[in-house]
Structure 1
Amino acid sequence: MLKVLRAGQRQLFVAYRQRQNQRLDAEEYGPCPYCYGYYPKKILSRHNNNCKFANAAGSRKRLAVESGLLLPKSKQGSTILRRVIESMRNDEISRIVKSDDTILAFREKLCAQWGNDDEQHNDIRQKLKEVARLLKDTRSCSGNVEKSLENFIYPDAFKFITQSRKNVAGFDGNTNTYATPSLALKIGSTLQKCLRILISKGIETNKG
C-alpha cells in the first residue's frame, strides 16, 4: 500500500469505495490510525466513530494528523526539512536531530504538514529539540549512548523514557509537580506521533 502511494502507480485497495461517478485521487484517501483501513479523508472522522479498534472518538484535526503520520514522507517535506535543519545551531542536540532515524521521520512529517508556513519553522525546530533532549537524557539514564529512540520505545526499555520525560520537564518528586508541565504533555504527544511512525514502518516492512 505504501509503495503504491510512494510510487504514484498501480492500484490502491481501500476499505471504502466511492460511487462509480465519484472517483477520488489516491491523495484524498488516508489510513485509519486504528484499523489501518484506507478511507476518504473527508469521512475518516465518521468511520472513527464506528471503528471497532478505536479506543476513543477523536477530533477531525487529531485524526488527520495521526493518519498523516502513517503515510510515506513527501518530497516537498524533504525540501523544507533541509531549510529547517540548516538553520539549527551545530551542537549535540542538533546532531541527535540529524542522526536518529525516528526523529528524522518525525521531522519529515512536521515539515510536510506545516513547512509551507514560514512562521511554523521555529515551532518545528522547537519540537525537534525537545525530542532530541529527551533522547539525550534517556541515553544517560540507561547508560547506553548508542541506542536510538526506536530502541527505547520498546516496552522493556520504555521505563527510561518515562524517567527522562520527568527529568526534561523538571519533575519534583517531593511536590509531585512539573516545573514545565506543558513540556511533559508535549513530549507525550510527540512520543505518540513517533509510535505511529514506527507502526507505519512496521506495516511497510511486513508487507514488503
Structure 2
Amino acid sequence: MDSSSHTEEDLYEFEMNNTEQQVSLSLEMSEEEAEEETRKAEGQVAEGILGKPLMKIHESTHGCCSQQHNIKVKMSSNSVHQRIYDKKNYCLYCEKPYSKIARHLQQKHSEKVEVAKALAHIRGSTMRALLLSKVRNMGNYHHNCSVLTSGKGEIIPKRQATYESTAMDYLPCKFCFAMYVKTDLWRHHKRCKLQVKENMPVKRKVQASCSLLLPMDSEVSSGLKKIIGDMTYDAVTQVVKSDPLILALGERMFLKNGEVSRHRADIRNKMRELARLLLVTRTIDKDIVTFKDLINPGKFNTVLDGVKKMTGFDNSTNRFSIPSTALKLRHSLVKLSYILQGEALRQEDDALKGRAEQFSKLIELEWKETYLKSNI
C-alpha cells in the first residue's frame, strides 16, 4: 500500500516536472510568437497572431466606455444543487460560439498551425490542454474586443461571474488573453503558464499594461501608448482612452517633446485633467459624452460650471481653491478647439468648424473677464 502510494506520488511529481519542461520548451520553440505577443501587450503592433487583427476598431460617437452600459457579462447559471454547463466559447476562426470548442477545433480546424501543434500531443496531456486553451482564449478575446467596440453584446470571461458586474470590471491577460476580474489580474499573472519572461523591468501596474489590449476609438502611436500604460487604470484613464480629442492632444504633445522623459508626466497630467473635466460635465449635462460634444458655444456655460466644480470655486470670495488647474484647463480647451477646427477643415464640415471657432472666441472674450473674475 505504501509502495503504491509512493509510486503515484513519484508519477505525479514526474508529470508536473515534465509538463513545466514542455511548456518552457514550447515557449522557447515559438520565440517569435512570444515576442509578437509581448509587442502586442505593449501596444506596438496592431496585428495579432494567425493574421487576425487584435482589435476591431470602428468609428463610434460615444466611445467604448460610454457604451458599456449595453454590454453584459456572462453569468453562471448554476443553482445551489446543480451545475449548469451552458458556457460557450467563441472559435477564433469561425467567430461563432460552441459549447465543445476543443472538439470543434479538432474536427473543423485541425489544419491550423496552432491547433495542429496542440493535437500533436497525447490526448489528455496537460500540454495539449494548455495549447488548446490558448486558442480558445484568443477566440474569446477577439469576440470580447468586438463587443467592446460595438457597445453591445456579452463578454465571455475566463470564469463566469456569480454576481452582477460590468465590462469595466474585466481586463485581458497580456500573456494568455483570457478575461479576468481586474482586481485579480495580478494574482493570475504570477501563475499564468503562458507567461513570457521579458528582458525588461517588471511593471507593477499590471492593470494599466493589460488595459492597452482593449480597443481604443482612435489609433495612437506606440509612444503615447506607453504614456497611457503608465497611468493608473481607473475611470479617468478609461475616459482618456475613449475620447479622440484627448488622444489627439496627447499625440501632439508627444510629437513635440514626448521623447524627453521629464515631459511625459506633464502629458499624462494634461490628459487626465481633461478627462476629469469631462466626467464632471457629464454629471451636469447628461447629453455630454465626448469633448466633441463639449466644444460647442451652446455648452460653454456647462464647461465653466464644470471647471468651477472641479477646481473648488468659492462664489462668496470669487476665488479658486486650485487656480493653477483652472488656468491649465483654459489653455488645454483652446488647443482642443484648434484640433477640432483642423478636423472640420479636413472633413469640409463648416458647421463643426464654426462651433469650434465660436467656442475658442468665447474663451478669449468671456472666460476671464465675465465668468471667472478670479486670481487666474
Deviation at 1:204, TM superposition (A): 0.6
- One-letter amino acid matched to 2:264: H
Deviation at 1:169, TM superposition (A): 1.4
Task: Structure 2: give runs of 5+ residues left out of the alignment.
Answer: 1-218, 350-376
Identity of aligned residues (%): 33
User: Which residue pairs with 1:118 in the alignment?
Assistant: 261
SS in structure 1 of the partner of residue 341 of structure 2: helix
User: Which residue pairs with 2:320 in the alignment?
Assistant: 178
- One-letter amino acid matched to 2:307: R
User: Which residue pairs with 2:341 in the alignment?
Assistant: 199
Counterpart-to-counterpart distance in 2, 1:122 and 1:110:
11
Deviation at 1:104, TM superposition (A): 1.3
Which of 73, 77, 87 is residue 230 of structure 2 equivalent to? 87
- Work out whether 1:109 is the aligned partner of 2:252: yes
User: Which residue pairs with 2:278 in the alignment?
Assistant: 135
User: Which residue pairs with 2:302 in the alignment?
Assistant: 160
Counterpart-to-counterpart distance in 2, 1:202 and 1:152:
15
SS in structure 2 of the partner of residue 200 of structure 1: helix
Counterpart-to-counterpart distance in 2, 1:164 and 1:157:
11
8 Å CA contact retained: 1:169, 1:183: yes
Deviation at 1:94, TM superposition (A): 0.1
Structure 2 length-normalised TM = 0.34
User: Which residue pairs with 1:32 in the alignment?
Assistant: none
User: Which residue pairs with 1:30 in the alignment?
Assistant: none
User: Which residue pairs with 2:198 in the alignment?
Assistant: none
Deviation at 1:79, TM superposition (A): 2.4
User: Which residue pairs with 1:40 in the alignment?
Assistant: none
8 Å CA contact retained: 1:78, 1:111: no
SS in structure 2 of the partner of residue 94 of structure 1: helix
Between stretches 83-92 and 156-165, larger displacement belongs to 156-165
- One-letter amino acid matched to 1:152: L
Deviation at 1:167, TM superposition (A): 1.1
SS in structure 2 of the partner of residue 184 of structure 1: helix
Counterpart-to-counterpart distance in 1, 2:286 and 2:293:
13
Alignment of 1:14-25 (within 5 A): none
- Work out whether 1:78 is the aligned partner of 2:211: no
8 Å CA contact retained: 1:94, 1:129: yes
SS in structure 1 of the partner of residue 233 of structure 2: coil
Counterpart-to-counterpart distance in 2, 1:114 and 1:134:
24
- One-letter amino acid matched to 2:242: S
SS in structure 2 of the partner of residue 110 of structure 1: helix
User: Which residue pairs with 2:36 in the alignment?
Assistant: none
User: Which residue pairs with 1:61 in the alignment?
Assistant: none
Q: Deviations over 1:168-204 (max 9, x none)?
A: 1110011100001111000000000000000000011
SS in structure 1 of the partner of residue 232 of structure 2: coil
RMSD: 1.6
- Work out whether 1:100 is the aligned partner of 2:243: yes
Counterpart-to-counterpart distance in 1, 2:223 and 2:250:
10
Return the index of the structure with the highest Cα Rg.
Answer: 2
User: Which residue pairs with 1:67 in the alignment?
Assistant: none
User: Which residue pairs with 1:48 in the alignment?
Assistant: none
Q: Deviations over 1:82-118 (max 9, x none)?
A: 1101111110000000001111111111111121101
Task: Structure 1: give runs of 5+ residues left out of the alignment.
Answer: 1-74
Q: How many residues align?
A: 131
SS in structure 2 of the partner of residue 143 of structure 1: coil
Structure 1 length-normalised TM = 0.60
SS in structure 2 of the partner of residue 116 of structure 1: coil
SS in structure 1 of the partner of residue 348 of structure 2: helix
Say which structure, 1 or 2, has more relative contact order (CA 8 Å, 6+ apart).
1
8 Å CA contact retained: 1:93, 1:133: yes
SS in structure 2 of the partner of residue 159 of structure 1: helix
Counterpart-to-counterpart distance in 1, 2:262 and 2:223:
13
Counterpart-to-counterpart distance in 2, 1:82 and 1:188:
25
- One-letter amino acid matched to 2:302: F
SS in structure 2 of the partner of residue 109 of structure 1: helix
SS in structure 2 of the partner of residue 88 of structure 1: coil
